[in-house]
Amino acid sequence: MNQPAGRPHAASQSLPEPSRTPSEGLHCSHFMYRFRRDILAGLSKRRLRDGMRQFLAAVDPGEATRPAKLQRYIISGHKADFALMMMDADPLKIDAVHQAVVSGPLGAAVEATWSFVSMSEISEYVPTVPQYREKLIREGNMPDSPELAAKVAAYERRLPMMNQQRLSPDIPDWPAACFYPMNKSRVPGANWFMESSSLRQTLMAEHAQSGMAFAGRVSQLITVGVGLDDWEWMVTLWGRNPEHLKEIVYRMRFDQASAKYGEFGPFYVGYSATGQEILDHCRITD
């Protein structure tokens, strides 16, 4: 029997099982919220008290319903009061926390003001071991030198750990964090996606080098929103101190990858907090 045009025989290809779980990496969501003071003012003391209890349970769920990674932040400025950042293999486990926050006795007084949906990935710009070796040679290392061999061997040992950190990061216990979405430009004369792979690789290597200067002070996670949300990437920065977040963003703006090709969305800065600290800071009391 003839097969319909454009539809290869099922036996000729191996397809993965349908699933919402990625083959590698995690789903990631950032949610920004604001308390509606006008609605809070109309709640009875009992409803407010019940709502506060439900809120605390929602932002600190038990083991069975808790995403693999969950962080809470008090947000500075008028754009939001607090934020949740979550990562898990199941996107609905993440969204269930959001639904719990906006439901219940306090739910009507909690307004979601912004969100971003993305996934963790290993970027195409992470050099392979052979690419890293060639880069070192271009920088002046002798091809047959022991120094080059030692650097390449050290990179080969680090690479699996670095890639795992990109897919499922160990979130540092630091007080400050910054979140912002970004795109790469498509304007004439600065269309990132029309540049050669080698140029893009070189520019991103320069960009990475700038970030390395902040090792130990800033930790970074880039998640991809292509096909998932309005922006292409989400940048999450954790800092030992908010001044380090200011410094790294300023420094990296001078890299050509940002200065010529970067487009940036809204910035949010937050400070790690418990659910009770969020309520106290926002003056939500019974």
Output the DSSP codes for 85-134: EEEES-HHHHHHHHHHHTSSTTGGGEEEEEEEEEEE---TTSPPHHHHHH
Are the C-beta atoms of 93 and 67 separated by less than 8 Å? yes
CB burial class (10 A; 0-12, 13-18, 19+) of residue 200? middle
Question: 235: how many CB neighbours lie within 10 A of its CB?
Answer: 19
Q: Where are the domains of the chain?
A: 27-120
Pairing of strands 176-184, 110-120: unpaired
Q: Which of 180, 250, 261, 271 is catalytic?
A: 180
Class in CATH terms, 27-120: alpha beta
Q: Is-catalytic flag, 73? A: no
Joined tokens for residue 35: 């308390």
Q: What is the pLDDT along the chain (286 residues), one digit of tens a residue?
A: 455 555 555 555 788 899 999 999 999 999 999 999 999 999 999 999 999 999 999 999 999 999 999 999 999 999 999 999 999 999 999 999 999 999 989 999 999 999 999 999 998 888 888 888 888 898 888 988 988 889 889 989 988 898 898 999 999 999 999 999 999 999 999 999 999 988 998 899 888 888 889 999 999 999 999 999 999 999 999 999 999 999 999 999 999 999 999 999 999 999 999 999 999 999 999 8
